């Protein structure tokens, strides 16, 4: 039997869950290499050969004919990569279109703005750094920008769902579940739309 194209190194209820969701949305054939964070399997030599930082997720792409051995790490890079190598999944506007600009912005926003701002909220510094020393606003300010973008909705690109919704929406789901954020009306509507997606339900079932 031919192995599935993608191999996802995954631990339940970790950042790799959003890549599980991504692969389900893409309809991509994949297998899981399951990790136990409590047992630190992601720090063992065999996985450090895949990702020297010992962090999840990590995605191995065997290629359309099984002859590749390409590794992608970092959630935002994996989202961009899968959306581009599987254009038929419709998870990204095509390059050269005006919609691609907003997509690229929001895809980066999840990793470069929302996640570090959330970390600052959850784990506050002993002393505030100079404003020019960091490249992101407060988590509350980030949420305001998201709310404004989602007011047309239901997704960041309007009617079109994209990989950017996985990056931003996945982080918002965590924040609300942990009681660190209260969703404003447009954001709450979007989170409900994301929760209703069959691919997310499938990913959660696998994750469980």
Residue 39 domain-assigned?
Answer: yes
pTM more than 0.85: yes
Nearest to 172 by CA among 198, 207, 146, 137: 146
Query: Residue 69: what pLDDT?
Result: 93
Do 193 and 103 lie in a common domain? yes
Helix (H) or strand (E) holding 4: none
Q: Is the pLDDT of residue 208 over 90?
A: no
Of the pLDDT bands very low, low, confident and very high (cuts 50, 70, 90), residue 156 is: very high
Residue with tokens 């959306």: 83
- The answer for 49, left when phi > 0, alpha when psi is -120 to 50, beta otherwise, is alpha
- Write down which residue in 35, 66, 91 finishes a domain: 91
CATH number reported for the structural domain that contains residue 18 in this entry: 3.40.30.10
95-106: pLDDT as tens digits: 999 999 999 999
Residue with tokens 């690109």: 157
Query: Residue 9: what pLDDT?
Result: 98
Residues 67-73, mean pLDDT to the nearest whole number: 96
35 close to 13: Cβ distance less than 8 angstroms: no
Do 60 and 106 lie in a common domain? no
Do 65 and 153 lie in a common domain? no
Do 46 and 66 lie in a common domain? yes
- Give CA–CA dist 109/143, Å, rounded: 11
Nearest to 149 by CA among 198, 97, 113: 113
Q: Which residues pair with 30 in a beta bridge?
A: 6
59 close to 35: Cβ distance less than 8 angstroms: no
- Write down which residue in 91, 124, 140 finishes a domain: 91
108-134: pLDDT as tens digits: 999 999 999 999 999 998 888 888 888
- Angle, helices 16-26/163-177, rounded to nearest 10 degrees: 140
Do 69 and 124 lie in a common domain? no
Query: Residue 34: what pLDDT?
Result: 96
Count of Cβ atoms closer than 10 Å to residue 40 Cβ: 11
Q: Is the pLDDT of residue 199 over 80?
A: yes
- Give CA–CA dist 125/121, Å, rounded: 9
Do 107 and 188 lie in a common domain? yes
Do 66 and 105 lie in a common domain? no
User: How many domains is the chain built from?
Assistant: 2
Q: Which tokens go with 141?
A: 């300010």
Q: Supply the mean pLDDT for the chain.
A: 95
Do 81 and 111 lie in a common domain? no
11-45: pLDDT as tens digits: 998 999 999 999 999 999 999 999 999 999 999 99
- Give CA–CA dist 141/171, Å, rounded: 15
- Write down which residue in 38, 60, 91 finishes a domain: 91
24 close to 199: Cβ distance less than 8 angstroms: yes
> Could you list the residue range(s) of the whole structural domain that residue 26 is in?
6-91
CATH number reported for the structural domain that contains residue 138 in this entry: 1.20.1050.10
38-48: pLDDT as tens digits: 999 999 999 99
Do 85 and 30 lie in a common domain? yes
- Least confident among 67-71, 132-136, 183-187: 132-136
170-182: pLDDT as tens digits: 999 999 998 999 9
- Give CA–CA dist 148/156, Å, rounded: 10
- Give CA–CA dist 171/110, Å, rounded: 7
Do 45 and 79 lie in a common domain? yes
């Amino acid at each position: 039997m031919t192995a599935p194209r993608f191999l996802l190194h995954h631990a339940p209820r970790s950042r790799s869950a959003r890549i599980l969701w991504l692969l389900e949305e893409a309809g991509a054939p994949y297998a899981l290499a399951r990790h136990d964070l409590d047992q630190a399997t992601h720090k063992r030599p065999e996985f450090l050969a895949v990702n020297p930082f010992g962090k999840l997720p990590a995605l191995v792409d065997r290629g359309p004919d099984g002859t590749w051995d390409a590794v992608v790490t970092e959630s935002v890079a994996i989202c961009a990569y899968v959306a581009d190598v599987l254009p038929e999944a419709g998870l990204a506007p095509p390059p050269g279109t005006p919609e691609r600009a907003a997509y690229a912005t929001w895809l980066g926003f999840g990793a470069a703005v929302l996640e570090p701002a959330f970390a600052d909220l959850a784990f506050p510094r002993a002393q505030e750094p100079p404003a020019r020393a960091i490249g992101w606003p407060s988590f509350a300010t980030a949420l305001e920008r998201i709310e404004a973008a989602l007011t047309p909705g239901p997704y960041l690109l309007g009617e079109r769902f994209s990989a950017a919704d996985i990056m931003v929406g996945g982080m918002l789901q965590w924040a609300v579940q942990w009681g660190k954020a209260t969703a404003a009306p447009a954001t709450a509507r979007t989170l409900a739309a994301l929760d209703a997606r069959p691919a997310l339900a499938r990913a959660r079932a696998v994750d469980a």
